[in-house]
Amino acid sequence: MGDTRERMIEGGRELIGRNGFRATSFRDIWEYTGTPRGSVYFHFPGGKDELALEVVARQSAIWLALVEKTADRATTPAEFLAGMATGLGIAMARSEYTLGCAISAMAVESPALAEPIRLAVGEFYGTWAGSVAVHLRRYGMDADHAEGLGDTVITHLVGALAVAKAQRDCSSFDQARAVFEELAASSSPQGAHR
């Protein structure tokens, strides 16, 4: 039973990331995941809005895990920031340019979303940027600068995802990586990453 719900959340995340929230129906999700039609409202009695909130939580966990994994491997702020751009670029190429971010897809449609979904989407960007800032502070960067750079990094990565998908080319991640390395080199004291 839990497996069906999990498959539907993951399928919803993938389809919304590719096609957008409004363009993704429950029918699309049950057909894509091979789950029974009748299980939709059993698992999501609150309908598509309930599924959307679960998708936001799942996508958020994936991006936050990327931040943690990249931070664990990096020894400098430049390596950390560039590593996120590299990781997303590799994932985009492997997906043959179908990789999407369900949260970003919903953000574009935010005027038409129910208020709880819009709030969850908006909160995610702050959480993601905050996670980046936490790691930048561990390199010795002051809090204000780390927060500003965290916001900049997330904005660049979201834009790079959209451009790479539209152009079927990962050079936007190369550009983001170069910008991140320059920003990190010019604004961060070298300190130990704890």
How much is the pLDDT for 81?
A: 95
How much is the pLDDT for 118?
A: 93
How much is the pLDDT for 2?
A: 64
How much is the pLDDT for 194?
A: 42
Structural domains of the chain in order of their starting residue, each with its CATH number: 55-187 (1.10.357.10)
Distance (Å) of CA 180 to CA 59, 66, 67, 90, 128: 23, 16, 14, 17, 16
pTM for this entry: 0.85
Which parts of the chain sit beneath pLDDT 70?
Answer: 1-2, 187-194
Give yes or no for a contact between 162 and 55, defined as CB atoms under 8 angstroms apart: no
Give yes or no for a contact between 66 and 84, defined as CB atoms under 8 angstroms apart: yes
